[in-house]
């Protein structure tokens, strides 16, 4: 394993083979884009630029998570936190010494690699350098969306969609050609000298030398089955577990968008720079035009690529894409990485396939509880259906397919047949429909746009969105019913306004479903408020909960009507069961109060542990009767089964013990010997 990793980091992809040999710290070579003129580094007044305060160190120590594997120093966060005050003072002096000397202890630069990679210890000093490096680094290109604050993949997808629409407007509605590229082993093949060349113009010298020491002088060892391999030093790459690596990688690839916008060959640029003086700028830096120093001045029509981490999307005509691919090829050879053709297509497992897998391990009616199963579905399965809905305008056909997929998953949880109605199942578990969920996600996404930094591409495109209200995809997202509800009250909504609008939207949908002429007869008998039905979580036996749920859904009694076992003259339907089992009389309820006394009682089950003595007493009287009636219904549903299994000596005892626990036993007298 160590020998394999050594070949990964050996720098064999660098354009100059001589660079595979480690250069001295003060090399004066400046003949290629990957060299660095370190002779310009002069430490004049290191104390004036050292800005790591004791308070910063204390804050970093306080944010160390617990229960994490230690590094080579065998120190855990639980050991450091009790010593925050004295330790911060000592570390401040140590960091200052490292700053002045541009050198760090070997343990800080030693990477331990296991077959399943674990992040390094969170108390590494680079956490204190993270904000400083961000503040003193050049701005990232506006086409970059990965590793930036408050930027997500959805933003880049929406921007790509708008760029495609703009392309169609300017090319007589001819769809653009798209090319999606992926960098192979992106972190492992980074030529760090390019990063140092870019940072040296804006970053304080002590800070840059310190970061160089953390990355250039790294040692790697592999641990397998408690056996440690020999150590080696990587020629290329940034560490996978370092908090600084994502930002350093963004700087490394930052010149590619500018190069593609200019459309100039790297080789031609190299030829133009051979006659320049010694104090030259690296070729990759020269690809950035003057206007790129201010991202907001870049015309939208010139943006022909989008980056998200190591994924790159190219936009243009067929001829333009050919030229862009040639430039990307030249760029990869120049800076020392290779493209990965195997990742041009992303294959995502379907939600239904994942649901079948979980169903086989307990996500089914006879396995985990229904409430836990629906929560697992919400956390692990539904996100597969939801991904991308926040930026997608769906057609009626799309919504129907999404609803069918969710309904299929819900039926698997409750053990329903393929044509069962799922409105009540979603209502008692507080699961929104996919149409509701789409409106919620779109409203949250539009609201989130107000919080994005001004240097993001979506902010640049927003002005153009407003100029084309009829065709802009962004303005279509703003037509979300929830967002329109918010805009009716305020133009600058707060988070509370968003939550209130979402809840109002859900209540409106519930009211419309209850008032519908078809498919809502069962739903109309249940709670008018949102939330998880108490029958899903209140203490009761498995049989009692199953009977409550089946009565709610309409399965008890259900199926093909059978002859009533009591009167032997009528079919045992729901209405007949209410009359035949004398539910109104047994539940002490007048017949004019409600047509469904059992649902009336279930609707009034407590949402929390009751404290009123009268309410506790009422539940102690009615709940055993409810459980007895449900057991009788279950017995009528299965007339050929052994009827003794439907009899319980203490019906509803679990709930009664919860609302009115017995007093603790008296303490035994203590006898002194």
Please give the C-alpha separations between residue 229 and each of 34, 109, 215, 217, in angstroms, as whole numbers.
31, 16, 20, 18
Choose among 505, 470, 474: nearest CA to 488: 505
291-307: burial string, b at 16+ Cβ within 10 Å, e else: ebeebeebeeeebbbbb
Percent of the chain, pLDDT > 70? Answer: 82
Beta strand spans in 101-176 (E): 110-113
Q: Residue 343: pLDDT band by 50, 70, 90 thresholds?
A: low
Contact 370, 414 (CB under 8 A): yes
Choose among 321, 378, 334: nearest CA to 355: 378
Q: What integer pLDDT is reported at residue 613 of this predicted model?
A: 92
Cα 302 to chain centroid distance, Å, stands at: 31
231: left (phi over 0), alpha (psi -120 to 50) or beta: beta
Query: Given the DSSP bridges, would you call strands 110-113 and 219-224 parallel, antiparallel or unpaired?
Result: parallel
Mean residue pLDDT of the chain comes to 80
Query: Given the DSSP bridges, would you call strands 227-228 and 219-224 parallel, antiparallel or unpaired?
Result: antiparallel
d(CA 447, CA 495): 9
Contact 357, 349 (CB under 8 A): no
Over its C-alpha atoms, the chain yields an Rg (Å, rounded) of 33
Quote the tokens at residue 156.
């880049």
Dihedrals phi, psi of 183, to nearest 5 degrees: -85, 130
What is the end-to-end Cα distance of the chain in Å, rounded?
Answer: 69
Residue 232 DSSP class:
B
| Helix residue spans in 581-612 (DSSP H) | 583-586, 597-603
Dihedrals phi, psi of 274, to nearest 5 degrees: -70, -25
pTM above 0.75, yes or no: no
Dihedrals phi, psi of 234, to nearest 5 degrees: -75, 140
pLDDT greater at residue 25 or residue 616: 616
Q: What integer pLDDT is reported at residue 539 of this predicted model?
A: 95
Query: Given the DSSP bridges, would you call strands 305-308 and 311-316 parallel, antiparallel or unpaired?
Result: antiparallel
Q: What integer pLDDT is reported at residue 78 of this predicted model?
A: 87
Choose among 517, 522, 475, 464: nearest CA to 170: 464
pLDDT in tens, 257-308: 988 988 755 444 444 444 343 333 344 444 443 434 445 567 777 888 998 8
Minimum mean pLDDT range among 338-352, 426-440, 482-496: 338-352
């Amino acid at each position: 394993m160590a020998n394999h990793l050594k070949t990964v980091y050996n720098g064999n992809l660098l354009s100059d083979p001589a660079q595979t040999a480690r250069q001295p710290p003060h090399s004066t070579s400046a003949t290629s884009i990957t060299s660095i003129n370190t002779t310009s580094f002069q430490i004049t007044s290191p104390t004036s630029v050292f800005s790591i305060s004791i308070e910063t160190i204390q804050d970093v120590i306080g944010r160390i998570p617990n229960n994490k594997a230690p590094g080579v120093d065998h120190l855990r966060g639980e050991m450091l936190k009790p010593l925050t005050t004295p330790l911060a003072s000592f570390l401040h002096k140590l960091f200052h010494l490292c700053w002045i000397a541009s050198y760090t202890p070997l343990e800080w630069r030693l990477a331990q690699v296991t077959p399943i990679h674990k992040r390094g210890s969170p108390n590494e000093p680079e956490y204190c350098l993270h904000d400083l490096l961000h503040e003193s680094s050049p701005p990232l290109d506006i086409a970059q969306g990965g590793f930036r604050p408050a930027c997500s993949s959805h933003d880049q997808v929406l921007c790509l969609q708008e760029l495609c629409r703009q392309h169609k407007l300017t090319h007589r509605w001819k769809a653009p050609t798209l090319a999606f590229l992926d960098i192979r082993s992106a972190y492992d093949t980074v030529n760090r000298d390019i990063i140092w060349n870019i940072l040296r113009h804006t970053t304080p010298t002590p800070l840059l030398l310190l970061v160089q020491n953390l990355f250039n002088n790294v040692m790697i060892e592999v641990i397998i089955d408690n056996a440690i391999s020999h150590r080696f030093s990587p020629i290329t790459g940034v560490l996978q577990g370092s908090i600084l690596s994502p930002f350093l990688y963004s700087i490394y690839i930052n010149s590619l968008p500018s190069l593609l916008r200019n459309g100039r060959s790297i080789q031609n640029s190299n030829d133009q720079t051979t006659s320049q003086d010694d104090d030259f700028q690296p070729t990759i830096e020269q690809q950035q035009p003057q206007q790129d120093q201010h991202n907001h001045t870049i015309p939208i029509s010139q943006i022909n690529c989008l980056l998200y981490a190591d994924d790159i999307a190219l936009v243009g005509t067929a001829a333009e894409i050919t030229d862009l691919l040639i430039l990307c090829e030249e760029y990869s050879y120049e800076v020392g990485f290779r493209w990965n053709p195997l990742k041009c297509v992303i294959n995502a497992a379907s939600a239904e396939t994942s649901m079948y897998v979980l169903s086989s391990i307990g996500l089914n009616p006879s396995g985990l509880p229904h409430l836990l199963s629906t929560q697992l579905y919400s956390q692990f399965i539904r996100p597969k259906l939801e991904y991308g809905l926040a930026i997608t305008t769906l057609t009626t056909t799309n919504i129907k397919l999404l609803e069918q997929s969710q309904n299929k998953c819900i039926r698997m949880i409750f053990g329903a047949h393929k044509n069962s109605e799922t409105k009540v199942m979603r209502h008692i578990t507080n699961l929104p429909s996919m149409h509701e969920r789409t409106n919620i996600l779109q409203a949250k996404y539009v609201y989130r746009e107000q919080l994005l930094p001004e240097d993001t591409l979506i902010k640049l495109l927003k002005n153009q969105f407003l100029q084309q209200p009829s065709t802009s995809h962004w303005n279509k997202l703003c037509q979300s019913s929830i967002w329109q509800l918010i805009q009716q009250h305020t133009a600058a909504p707060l988070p509370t306004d968003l939550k209130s609008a979402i809840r109002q939207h859900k209540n409106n949908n519930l009211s419309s479903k209850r008032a519908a002429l078809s498919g809502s007869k069962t739903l109309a008998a249940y709670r008018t408020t949102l939330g998880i039905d108490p029958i899903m979580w209140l203490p009761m036996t498995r049989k009692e909960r199953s009977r409550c749920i089946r009565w709610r859904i309409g399965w008890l009694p259900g199926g093909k009507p059978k002859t009533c076992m009591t009167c032997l003259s009528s079919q045992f339907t729901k209405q007949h069961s209410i009359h035949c089992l004398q539910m109104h009389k047994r539940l002490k309820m007048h017949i004019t109060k409600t047509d469904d006394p059992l649902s009336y009682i279930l609707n009034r089950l407590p949402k929390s542990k009751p404290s009123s003595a009268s309410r506790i007493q009422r539940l102690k009287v009615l709940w055993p009767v409810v459980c007895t009636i449900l057991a009788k219904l279950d017995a009528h549903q299965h007339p050929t089964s052994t009827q003794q299994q439907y009899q319980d000596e203490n019906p509803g005892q679990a709930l009664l013990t919860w609302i009115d626990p017995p007093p603790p036993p008296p303490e035994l007298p203590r006898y002194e010997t």
